[in-house]
Chains A and B, each alone.
Chain A
């Protein structure tokens, strides 16, 4: 400490090496018990005992910083241990360290004996090497299998740590200072994030393939570029609407009624397409499929069915049957429009509806071109474990 008196430097300055040595030296598990805390810098003051009153004064001054030091050591959020000698006797371990290894009876024992569970994981060998070479060792995001209590089965933890050699006054390695932190939560969060990014990549590519398919099939049925653009955009927007809904729930799923309303808003909304049924939670794949189905049904109704006239309406009723293997039945019934007639040629829209129900939803569909209006009845299992 520059600028302090020689006396001050003797009492106040403790190098990092000294702190470690002092922690290692002070005995007893509760090592708050005050002993003379030698802050000498390697014997510079040896043979020159200071006057008695100064010693007493120093003891008073020192007791408090030393207690603080011990307290900080014990309460430090990271785990810390001081290991002594070639067998790494655990001289000191703070609360975080004891919590990590799930035992408070390790002090005073060589680490191989105190923590037999971590044998064969490279820990002891690294400590041996730090002790032998005097080279510190830093580990980042290293996994170790540890049991938190004697009864627990070991679980994988991820740690950041440093093994730092502790040197004696002659510079020889006398022990190893272990310090680090449990980064298991951070490593797991990073793993989850990677999984989510992989899943997102997969979805983006699949969505692109879906859009490609819509473009190709729409083009085959609409050779005229203007009509192609119109139909293609409408389908793209339909897909995008369901995506919006799913984004709001972080891709957990969506409610059936919300999907219906999103997809049919452009066709007059709930005054013309009247929803009636219980809350039904759809998973993302089901929501996307039903979204496309509703879009095609509403577009068809707008072109040829009930929604092509000012007073026509569509009643959409749904219900759930069988609580153990839940099955959704949905009825789309058009009314007040021109009489329905089977199409001359099956368009992409009706193929898309049928394929989506049978293939993606593993369900069944019946189309009825009735005199009073078109009816579609769709049913599919809700819990397919997808």
Chain B
């Protein structure tokens, strides 16, 4: 399964319905969703915690805050990640451009492609 089977994917997303959709898609891909974290604080807690993370799916705007502190923490640990946003890549500041980005709403295929791109799989 595209080398995604068993991958542990951190999900940061503040809307539970969207988080549930992402989890369903990830489970269908054979991945193990971690979280979902509903805030930057919760996301940082998971990144800095004991849990092993292979990759992450980050909603850019979580609970009125921008997710970039979580992205920085992941980058510092060398964990690849994918942004998800209503605007697509145009919603990202220049310094974060060029990362795999999912535009909401997204298909299962788009999620798989983006995570594969992030993992280099």
- List the interface of chain A (C-beta within 8 A of B): 201-206, 208-214, 216-217, 220, 289, 292, 351-352, 355-356, 358-360, 362, 384-386
Establish whether residues B86 and A204, one from each chain, have CB atoms under 8 Å apart when the complex forms. Answer: yes
Inter-chain contacts of B61 with A (CB < 8 A): 202
Q: Which residue of B lies closest to A204 (CB)?
A: B86
* Contact for A352 among B20, B36, B85, B87, CB less than 8 A: B20
B45 to chain A, nearest CB (A): 14
Establish whether residues A355 and B21, one from each chain, have CB atoms under 8 Å apart when the complex forms. Answer: no
Inter-chain contacts of B21 with A (CB < 8 A): 209, 212-213, 216-217
Establish whether residues A209 and B19, one from each chain, have CB atoms under 8 Å apart when the complex forms. Answer: no
Establish whether residues B20 and A351, one from each chain, have CB atoms under 8 Å apart when the complex forms. Answer: yes
Establish whether residues B104 and A205, one from each chain, have CB atoms under 8 Å apart when the complex forms. Answer: yes
Binds A, one of B10-18, B70-78, B92-100: B10-18
A289 to B16 alpha-carbon distance, docked (Å): 9
The A contact surface, by secondary structure, is helix
Q: Which residue of B lies closest to A289 (CB)?
A: B16
Inter-chain contacts of A220 with B (CB < 8 A): 24
Establish whether residues B104 and A360, one from each chain, have CB atoms under 8 Å apart when the complex forms. Answer: no
Q: Which residue of B lies closest to A283 (CB)?
A: B64
Inter-chain contacts of B106 with A (CB < 8 A): 209
A362 to B14 alpha-carbon distance, docked (Å): 10
* Contact for A202 among B17, B63, B87, CB less than 8 A: B87
B105 on the A face (CB < 8 A): yes
Q: How large is the interface on B (under 10, 10 to 19, 20 to 34, 35 or more residues)?
A: 20 to 34
Inter-chain contacts of A211 with B (CB < 8 A): 105
Inter-chain contacts of B103 with A (CB < 8 A): 205
B117 on the A face (CB < 8 A): no
A289 to B18 alpha-carbon distance, docked (Å): 12
Given A201-B86, A205-B86, A214-B38 contact (CB < 8 Å): no
Inter-chain contacts of B19 with A (CB < 8 A): 355, 359
Closest 6 CB pairs of A and B: A205-B86, A213-B21, A355-B16, A359-B16, A209-B105, A209-B104
Establish whether residues B86 and A352, one from each chain, have CB atoms under 8 Å apart when the complex forms. Answer: no
Between B16, B19, B85, B106, the greatest number of chain A beta carbons within 10 A of the residue's beta carbon is seen for B16
A203 to B91 alpha-carbon distance, docked (Å): 13
Establish whether residues B20 and A217, one from each chain, have CB atoms under 8 Å apart when the complex forms. Answer: yes
Q: Which residue of A lies closest to B21 (CB)?
A: A213
Given A205-B87, A352-B16, A386-B63, A362-B38 contact (CB < 8 Å): yes
B66 to chain A, nearest CB (A): 12
Establish whether residues A213 and B18, one from each chain, have CB atoms under 8 Å apart when the complex forms. Answer: yes
Given A209-B104, A209-B106, A214-B86 contact (CB < 8 Å): no
Inter-chain contacts of A209 with B (CB < 8 A): 15, 17-18, 21, 86, 104-106
A384 to B63 alpha-carbon distance, docked (Å): 9
Interface string of B15-41 (1 = CB under 8 A from A): 111111100100000000000101000
A211 to B63 alpha-carbon distance, docked (Å): 19
B103 to chain A, nearest CB (A): 8
Between A360, A362, A384, the greatest number of chain B beta carbons within 10 A of the residue's beta carbon is seen for A360
Establish whether residues B17 and A213, one from each chain, have CB atoms under 8 Å apart when the complex forms. Answer: yes
24 pairs, CB–CB < 8 Å, chain A vs chain B: A201-B86, A205-B87, A205-B103, A205-B104, A206-B104, A208-B105, A209-B86, A209-B105, A209-B106, A210-B15, A211-B105, A213-B20, A289-B16, A292-B17, A352-B16, A352-B17, A352-B20, A355-B17, A355-B19, A356-B16, A359-B16, A359-B36, A360-B14, A386-B64
A213 to B21 alpha-carbon distance, docked (Å): 5
A211 to B105 alpha-carbon distance, docked (Å): 9
A386 to chain B, nearest CB (A): 5
A351 to B19 alpha-carbon distance, docked (Å): 12
